[in-house]
Structures are given as C-alpha cells and as structure tokens.
Amino acid sequence: MSDYPEFENKMKKTCDSLSTEYATIRAGRANTAVLNQISVDYYGVPTPIQQVATVSTPDPRSLMIQPWDNSLLKGIEKAILASDLGINPQNDGRAIRLVFPPLTEERRRDLVKQTKKYAEEAKVAIRNIRRDAIDKFKKQQKASEITEDDYKIAEKDIQKLTDDYIKEIDKIAEKKEKELTEI
C-alpha cells in the first residue's frame, strides 16, 4: 500500500481529524479537550484558553481554569458562555470551575447522533480522496503514462486502502459511542 503515500496520508489525516473532533464532544466526564475550540480575547487577539491559563481536572466531573492574568477571568467566563458547551462557569475571583453534570439519556442520544454524523462526514471525505486518486490514475492511463493493467491494479489498491480507512473510522466511532453510552 505504500505505493500511494499521498492518498494514504490524506486518509490518515481524515481519521486524525475525526479523533480530534470526538475529543471535543463531552461525555459526562471532564476532559480538557472540550476547551480546544474556545478562544478568549487576549489584548485584542483571540487566543485558546490553554495558552492563557492552567487547565486541570481536580475530579472526574470538573475542570479548573486558572488564568495567569486575573483580568482574563471575565473574558474566559464570557467565552465559555458563548460556546456551545452548555455548562455555566463558576467564577470564584481566582479561578473558573466547570462542573459537568451527568448526561441525561436524551443528551446521550443526541451525542451519539452527532458522533455518527461526524463519522459519516469522515467517510465521505475518504471516498472523495478515493475518487481523486482514481481520477489521477485514469488521466495517467489516458495520457499513456501507465498501462490499462497498472490502472486496474491502482484502482483495486486504492479501493482496498479506502475500505481499510472506512473500517478505521467505524472503529473510532464505535469506541466513542461506547464511551457515551456506558457512563
């Protein structure tokens, strides 16, 4: 399969992107990755919270955000409220605490739907990479750069690569769904 590193790398990046996306879905327990998409206004520049504060997990259901500059407390609080995190920050004047409530059954179902949607989007991306690869080999064959047999072999190999990465996406999605339903 290493004959197609360009396409394999793109497919791997798609899987990595899906894993990153899943890390931001909160599953009832505190995970610092839920803050990855949230930026705070730091002297006029949108800055990720992790770059202006220490984020810790004092217990499994809460996050503690301690900004290095206390003037950022209000900004961090506003950024969290404006996000789609769905948690009210508790500001004690020195740090912000986020307490993650246990997930309701309805919320779990919504998160599982969201998980499936992300997985389907990743599969579509993989299939688009396959289509681009096959188009490239078809052009090479038409330009007589590769033979008909080479084209058929490449097409078969790209399909095998696609199937492998689709299975990988299914594994990643299944693991996340299990995490969401077993809490």
DSSP string, 54-98: EEEEEETTEEEEEESSGGGHHHHHHHHHHSS-----EE-SS-EEE
CA–CA gap between residue 17 and residue 12 (Å, rounded): 9
Is the pLDDT assigned to residue 26 strictly greater than 70? Answer: no
Q: Is 167 exposed, middle or buried (0-12, 13-18, 19+ CB in 10 A)?
A: exposed
pLDDT averaged over every residue in the chain: 86
Residue written as tokens 């095998």?
A: 160
Amino acid at 101: P
Cα–Cα distance between 170 and 159 in angstroms, integer? 16
pLDDT at 137 over 70: yes
Residue-wise pLDDT for 157-177, tens only, equals 999 999 999 999 999 999 888
Query: Going from the N-terminus, what domains does the chain have, and what CATH number goes with each?
Result: 5-23+104-181 (1.10.132.20), 32-99 (3.30.1360.40)
Q: How far apart are CA 1 and CA 17, in angstroms?
A: 21
Point out which residues pair with 62 in neighbouring strands.
59, 99
Under DSSP, the state recorded for 35 is G
Higher pLDDT, 103 or 122: 122
* 47, β-bridge pairs: 40
